[in-house]
Structure 1
Amino acid sequence: MSTSFIPETAPFNEEQRAWLNGFFAGMMGMQPGGDASAVMNAAGVSAGSLPGVAVQENEPEPEEDFPWHDDSLPIVDRMALAEGKPVERRLMAAMAQLDCGSCGYLCKTYSEAIASGEETNLTLCSPGGKETSKMIKQVLKESGDGGAAPAKPANGTAAGGTSAAGFSRKTPYSAKLIESRPLNGEGSAKDTRHVAIDLGDSDIRYEVGDALGIYPTNCGELVEAIVAAIGADPKLLTVTPGGEPKSLANALCEDFCLKDPSDELLELALSRVSDIAIKTTLSEMLEEGAPDGFDVLDVLQLAGAVPISATEFLETLSPLNPRLYSIASSQACVGNQVHLTVGKVTYDRDGRLRKGAASTMLADRLEPGATLRVFTQANHGGFTVPSDPNTPMIMVGPGTGIAPFLAFLQERDATKSPGKNWLFFGDQHAATDFLYQEELQAYLDAGLLTRLDTAFSRDGAEKVYVQDRMKQNAAELWTWLQQGAHFYVCGDASRMAVDVDRTLKAIVASEGGMSEKAAEDYVASLSKAKRYVRDVY
């Protein structure tokens, strides 16, 4: 069968067509492994130069769709959506899907860094917690040596990694604590602090909406109890993950996570105990995960007086990861300082007081003037004030979620932005938990804060939350959205943010006269346009 190189649509007669086909066929014979395009190139003829030949241009590859990248989906559903995908995509589905930056990456780039071997710490996804780290290990175990090919190197961190001043997650700055001032009134069930930190001459710059990373230290009492449980000398010289020699006590205080026990620690304890009941308990934890609040000391106490050396114990521990806090200040107002709003975390479990490492460090263990290691993490997904100073802002920030919105208001005040500002704030009791009441009232009096709607859930017979205040002001909220307002949410992802999202869609449907599907599409369009942005954890 003869091959025709000349399209039927080309304007040649039969004799010309036969001659050209013969010419190209002859050229093909001189080209080992050649094809029509190679022959035509050799002859100095391009397909596009032939009359009547349409050349299809290369279409840009469509952006990859990640259907599991939805923080409202349970992890089992996300993993089902990623079934059959390469290992880096299954790892991504295991993440919390918040792109919060607490890991120093985005969900996509963190998973790619793990798959490529560039990142070995599997516990950086703070919002995902044990659920995520357990799934990551399962995916890696299932992939084995026959898993997907390594992903391309991750494109840096969510923040670009290093500040202009040269400080980063890997090279933090030693800042000084200015104050840790209680914000709650006497009798409150909470202990929330306004934390001010001096950045000194570091030349660190940040934008409103950014976060501050802080490397915590563990409570000394917890460290002492753990050293005693393994029967070690606290002065024993050891080497930290960073290669620095330290005493065992200092290493446990500064370098290792003592909160969630690793599978390796559970396996070590299981290999040493002989009691059948304890073995069963440890086996169940390996299979289902340790109970909430069950920490490293609990494992050692459960195992009892079994021989565990300091060296093998340290090998089972995860690194002590930094904590990220939404910045509650604008540098246009505070200069070389950075402010935070931090809720102190303590609770009792089995007769022992458990303490959040970073929050109790900031509230109790550091005195003014003490140093702490910090770095800045850039905001993600447009979580910052609108570029147009005339654009209205609606901010929903209950509890410590108010932090970034203090920064937003300071920025708007400093830049004399004329756009309207509406804040929804909620907590337990107005008398004791109205965080920054004086500052907010001053903004109201000055006209910077156009509206302030509060919801104090424990002050009435029925609990009232920020989403309830949104419903009560649905018509006005819809009007602001129609005027181009940006809608921001900061706070708890699992409950508050879900309720606020559901309420926003209901308001759009009712006030906009839309179907449920149309309202969802409208809210999705707000997100795509960076007019609906969340900083949730």
Structure 2
Amino acid sequence: MSSMIPTTAPFNDEQRAWLNGFFSGLMGIQENAQPESVLSAAGLSGTSLPIPEPAEEEFPWHDDSLPIVDRMELAEGKPVPRRLMAAMAQLDCGSCGYVCQTYAEAIASGEETNLTLCSPGGKETKQMVKRILKESGDDATGNGAPTDAAPTASVVADRTNRNGAATNGASANGSATHGAATNGRAVYSRTNPFVAKLIESRPLNQPGSAKDTRHVAIDLAGSGLKYEVGDALGIYPSNCDDLVTQVIDRIGADQDLPVSGPSGSKSLQTVLSQDYCLKEPSDELLEAVLEKATDPEIKEALTAMLEDGVPDGVDVLDVLDLTDCRSITATEFLDCLDPLNPRLYSIASSMKCVGDQVHLTIGKVVYEREGRVRKGVASTMLADRVEPGTTVRVFVQPNHGGFTVPANAETPIVMVGPGTGIAPFIAFLQERQHSQAAGNNWLFFGDQHESTDFLYEDELRSYVENGLLARLDTAFSRDGDAKVYVQDRMRQSGAELWDWLQSGACFYVCGDASRMAADVEKSLLAVIQEYGNLEPDQAKSYLDQMKSDQRYVRDVY
């Protein structure tokens, strides 16, 4: 007998199983009885059935420090939505427009068809999601397994009412919290971005640096968009024209050919520039190129990519270069591509200080692979391809998990932000200075060389001089014989760091999740254990309590 209790009812698995067994037993007594008659026979009705309080579900895999293989093991045997959740990066970062749980549930229900939105999870999340859906079959979603097609506007727009991570323009309960007033015009959001003018994109590194980090300022005047410190700015990028031209050449198409894309009918050149991802190739593209391949070695390489995933750095052009793809029509080619998703950047300004502007700190990504220069889509667009006065499409993504300055202005804060991770803490400091917050501020910053890579050096040193920064600890890893990082500076100042924590300080981290943030947490645990004279499990409990109290908050990716 199929389940009598719908999966949407507010019961956990044990409660649902018990109720199904109870009603199944009653129906065994009354063969051919309908559920409603069984309820009546039991003295219950659909409206009088006592509904137990749903137990809070635990997600042991919801730990971003766990590798994906461990998370999947913890979710083994769970329903499809929970296994999909375990495949996510577990950061609840909001970059997908959801949180991990609700994104997974939307995919499983068939309401969300874009499987590439978990940018922190990247390739491994995408591959695992596809594997789960393939193993579960079409029945897993109720509407058939989703594809990589871009989600419809109605699906994305409705996220604000269904999900824990509200998009710009509405809170989770649908009330407007960000964006323009709803007086007859649409609120600017992820699905309706504001076309904003670029004010500047100036280098922060000094000549001789191996890096190119930019301070980007964007004009929000006329948008009505509002943001809080700790929020992120979403930017819809465009692909490099040279890359688009090469891709079109490989399929032997006309760049002016009119085609239908997610945002309407445009030329093939424009659609590939604005709407489709030319970075990691989809399984559908690999399969299409495999059909055209005749060389056994090429077929073997493509088959390996389908089975094991695409090697790091391999993009759409690399795959098209493997064989003659000129027989693939433009429409067939577009059907094989993933949508070009927005990029989220931590905001490096406070509106109280900069007004209708938003500032970002962006590291330009350029590297060479297989004799060809590869470029970060959004970072090189903002550094090279968009001139001051021209436009970019933007929206505000509210912060998650309390990543903002404390409500109590007297609370001290400790900030750890190496490299571009400094961005939100520039905003924090601007906010604390404007509000004349009494709480002390301590910043740990690191990069490669002090002479060339001390981002925002003048601003930070002025904050030290005027007392806004009680402490500024720096770590420039390439300046000495031994590499020193921010986590090393934390341990060196462990006694004072412990005193700050004991006085109620909030501890913030921004930056790379897999390495820096993990190493910072290990060092923080070590400081708590050593200077708190605690056992390892006690130190872990102390840190867990900080997380629960939102005194230890991370913005990692």
Using the size of structure 1 for normalisation, the TM-score is 0.88
Matched, 1:131 2:151: no
- 5 Å matches for 1:33-52? none
2:503 to 465, 476, 483: 483
Q: Give 1:113's aligned residue.
A: 106
Tell me how far 1:216 sits from its aligned partner: 0.2
Tell me how far 1:34 sits from its aligned partner: 5.7
For residues 55 and 491 of structure 2, the distance between their equivalents in structure 1, rounded to whole angstroms, comes to 39
Tell me how far 1:148 sits from its aligned partner: 6.9
Tell me how far 1:35 sits from its aligned partner: 6.4
2:261 to 240, 245, 257: 240
Q: Is the 8 A contact 1:398 1:424 kept in 2?
A: yes
Look up the equivalent residue of 1:378 and give its one-letter code: P
Tell me how far 1:275 sits from its aligned partner: 0.6
Q: Give 2:86's aligned residue.
A: 93
1:374 to 394, 400, 420: 394
For residues 410 and 196 of structure 1, the distance between their equivalents in structure 2, rounded to whole angstroms, comes to 15
Tell me how far 1:109 sits from its aligned partner: 1.0
Matched, 1:535 2:555: yes
For residues 157 and 497 of structure 1, the distance between their equivalents in structure 2, rounded to whole angstroms, comes to 24
| SS of residue matched to 2:514 | coil
1:79 to 66, 72, 76: 72
Q: Give 1:217's aligned residue.
A: 238
Tell me how far 1:80 sits from its aligned partner: 1.1
Q: 1:341 to 1:34 in 2, by over 3 A?
A: closer
2:318 to 298, 303, 312: 298
Q: Give 2:443's aligned residue.
A: 423
Look up the equivalent residue of 2:163 and give its one-letter code: G
Tell me how far 1:259 sits from its aligned partner: 0.2
Tell me how far 1:102 sits from its aligned partner: 1.0
Tell me how far 1:480 sits from its aligned partner: 0.2
Matched, 1:441 2:461: yes
- 5 Å matches for 1:261-276? 261-276=281-296
Q: Give 2:215's aligned residue.
A: 194
Q: Give 2:488's aligned residue.
A: 468
Tell me how far 1:157 sits from its aligned partner: 5.7
Q: Give 2:3's aligned residue.
A: none
For residues 201 and 404 of structure 1, the distance between their equivalents in structure 2, rounded to whole angstroms, comes to 24
Look up the equivalent residue of 1:231 and give its one-letter code: G
Q: Give 2:5's aligned residue.
A: none
Q: Is the 8 A contact 1:395 1:423 kept in 2?
A: yes
Q: 1:439 to 1:145 in 2, by over 3 A?
A: same
1:171 to 176, 179, 192: 192
Tell me how far 1:256 sits from its aligned partner: 0.3
Q: 1:233 to 1:505 in 2, by over 3 A?
A: same
Look up the equivalent residue of 2:417 and give its one-letter code: G
Tell me how far 1:62 sits from its aligned partner: 2.3
Give aligned-pair identity as a percent. 64
Q: 1:138 to 1:33 in 2, by over 3 A?
A: closer
Q: 1:73 to 1:298 in 2, by over 3 A?
A: same
Look up the equivalent residue of 1:301 and give its one-letter code: D
Q: Is the 8 A contact 1:273 1:306 kept in 2?
A: no
Residue-by-residue CA offset, 1:483-534 (whole Å, 9 max, x unaligned): 0000000000010000000110111010111111111111011001100000
- 5 Å matches for 1:288-327? 288-305=308-325, 307-327=327-347
For residues 238 and 340 of structure 2, the distance between their equivalents in structure 1, rounded to whole angstroms, comes to 8
Matched, 1:229 2:256: no
| SS of residue matched to 1:302 | coil
Q: 1:478 to 1:230 in 2, by over 3 A?
A: same
For residues 496 and 457 of structure 2, the distance between their equivalents in structure 1, rounded to whole angstroms, comes to 24
For residues 32 and 115 of structure 1, the distance between their equivalents in structure 2, rounded to whole angstroms, comes to 32
| SS of residue matched to 1:495 | helix
| SS of residue matched to 2:321 | helix
Q: 1:240 to 1:32 in 2, by over 3 A?
A: closer
For residues 274 and 254 of structure 2, the distance between their equivalents in structure 1, rounded to whole angstroms, comes to 17
Tell me how far 1:149 sits from its aligned partner: 6.3
Look up the equivalent residue of 1:515 and give its one-letter code: E
Q: Is the 8 A contact 2:200 2:218 kept in 1?
A: yes
Give unpaired runs (5+ residues) of structure 1. 1-30, 43-56
For residues 238 and 256 of structure 1, the distance between their equivalents in structure 2, rounded to whole angstroms, comes to 13
Q: Is the 8 A contact 2:286 2:302 kept in 1?
A: yes
For residues 128 and 42 of structure 2, the distance between their equivalents in structure 1, rounded to whole angstroms, comes to 51
For residues 36 and 256 of structure 1, the distance between their equivalents in structure 2, rounded to whole angstroms, comes to 58
| SS of residue matched to 1:341 | strand
Look up the equivalent residue of 1:520 and give its one-letter code: K
Q: Give 2:150's aligned residue.
A: none
Look up the equivalent residue of 1:269 and give its one-letter code: V
Look up the equivalent residue of 1:158 and give its one-letter code: A
| SS of residue matched to 2:361 | strand
Tell me how far 1:302 sits from its aligned partner: 1.0
| SS of residue matched to 2:331 | helix
Look up the equivalent residue of 1:430 and give its one-letter code: E
For residues 418 and 249 of structure 2, the distance between their equivalents in structure 1, rounded to whole angstroms, comes to 41
Q: 1:306 to 1:32 in 2, by over 3 A?
A: closer
Q: Give 1:13's aligned residue.
A: none
Matched, 1:147 2:140: yes
Q: Is the 8 A contact 2:109 2:141 kept in 1?
A: no
Look up the equivalent residue of 2:389 and give its one-letter code: G
1:333 to 347, 353, 357: 353
Matched, 1:356 2:376: yes
1:159 to 142, 166, 190: 166
| SS of residue matched to 2:137 | helix
Tell me how far 1:269 sits from its aligned partner: 0.4
For residues 136 and 295 of structure 1, the distance between their equivalents in structure 2, rounded to whole angstroms, comes to 20
Residue-by-residue CA offset, 1:360-395 (whole Å, 9 max, x unaligned): 000000000010000000000000000000000000
Q: 1:270 to 1:37 in 2, by over 3 A?
A: closer
Tell me how far 1:107 sits from its aligned partner: 0.6
For residues 285 and 295 of structure 2, the distance between their equivalents in structure 1, rounded to whole angstroms, comes to 17
For residues 533 and 425 of structure 1, the distance between their equivalents in structure 2, rounded to whole angstroms, comes to 17
Q: Give 2:475's aligned residue.
A: 455
Q: 1:160 to 1:247 in 2, by over 3 A?
A: closer
For residues 39 and 222 of structure 2, the distance between their equivalents in structure 1, rounded to whole angstroms, comes to 66
1:521 to 532, 538, 541: 541
Tell me how far 1:306 sits from its aligned partner: 5.0
Look up the equivalent residue of 1:84 and give its one-letter code: G
Tell me how far 1:82 sits from its aligned partner: 0.9
Look up the equivalent residue of 2:337 and give its one-letter code: L
Q: Is the 8 A contact 1:104 1:161 kept in 2?
A: no
- The count of residues paired between Structure 1 and Structure 2 equals 491
